[in-house]
Structure 1
Amino acid sequence: MATATKSKMKLHSTSIDIPQDVREQMIALLNQQLADTFDLYSQVKQAHWNVKGMDFMQLHEYFDELAEVIQEYVDEVAERATALGGIAMGTARMAASNSSLEEMNADLKTGEQFVRALVGRMADYAKSTREAIDTADEAGDISTSDLFTEISRAVDKHLWFLEAHIQ
């Protein structure tokens, strides 16, 4: 997980009663998850736009629905970082340069290829989200931990949906 140092991070004023060092740690954590969440969103949209084959319509619609769910979490993670006095590092370029997720192969076409690729991305994202829950818990930021818990439940559900296509 990403960590920030006091000398690198300038915080905006806030009345949230979380110590500055904890806020800095959470902002760095949130920005790492923001990069991964935004990257995951873009990869799901890539699948949505490019899927081909007999299951096109089902997957095209599902990938769009999944992207909408993930996009909500992009916004919530970014807003939590700013609520803590930080800056959300949320451009496409920032996400691309900071994401820990594997890049989507541009040669994928079939539904099965896209589903398998997304299963891997979602599983990695689910793991990092659970790690973020633990990190926020250990830091004493229950609100950030709760946000990641909410995201974790949704990611696990959609990972189950994706895996059901290939089991």
Structure 2
Amino acid sequence: MSKTNNKVSPDLDTPTDLSPDGVKKVSEALNVLLADAFALYLKTKNFHWHISGRHFRDYHLLLDEQSDQIFATTDQLAERVRKIGGTTLKSIGQVAKLQTIKDNNENYVPPREMMRELMQDNKHVAAAMRKAHDVCDEAGDVASASILEVFIDETERRTWFLFEATRQEGSNAA
């Protein structure tokens, strides 16, 4: 029988020494990050597929690399939720409900605007990961916090690359 509330089925209730409240809070925080990872992955792929212009090859390859990296986080986030006894995302509808990254459905976005939008989205994700890290710390979940530390570094690297890709030649600022 399917459950529509947040109560975990006994068959999925993985043993953990984290408190039930800690599991709930960490699972909620990680599920928002997971939804954002899916949203950012799809947006990055969208821009990868629709990039044009004189920097096409460089941007196309950069966005492909970044989308692969973002997608690689999804399984680790979801499995972390399960390891502590929580439940994770089950549908695109749930992703849409939880995501904080805004979709971009425009027919055409200039390449520099694509890069800048993704840069801002990655900055947003890094900030959200820091907040989730605090939740993990409060719950005593060092493993989830450790995973987030690596993901924060990767996210900051993506932000940096996107920033550098959008700098004007001869300019010290974007």
TM-score (norm 1): 0.89
Q: How far apart are the structure 1 equivalents of 2:13 and 2:97?
A: 28
Q: Match of 2:26?
A: 26
Query: Residue 137 of structure 1 aligns with which residue?
Result: 137
Structure 1 residues 90 and 42: CA distance shift in structure 2, 3 A: farther
Deviations 1:79-115 (A, max 9, x none): 1111112221153332122101122242333321210
Whole-angstrom CA distance in 1 between matches of 2:70 and 2:83: 20
Deviation string for 1:96-138 (max 9, x for gaps)? 2210112224233332121011111111111111111112112
Percent of paired sites with the same residue? 26
Please give the root-mean-square deviation of Cα atoms over the aligned residues, in Å: 1.5
Q: Is the 8 A contact 1:78 1:90 kept in 2?
A: no
- 1:33 is paired with a residue of what secondary structure? helix
Partner of 1:61: 61
Normalised to the residue count of structure 2, the TM-score between the two structures is 0.86
Distance 2:59 2:159 in 1: 14
| Residues in 2 aligned to 1:148 and 1:9: alpha-carbon distance in whole angstroms | 25
Partner of 2:87: 87
Instruction: After TM superposition, list the pairs within 5 Å mapping 1:67-106 onto structure 2.
Output: 67-106=67-106
Larger radius of gyration: 2
**Structure 1 stretches lacking a partner, 5+ long:** 1-6
- Count of residues paired in the alignment: 161
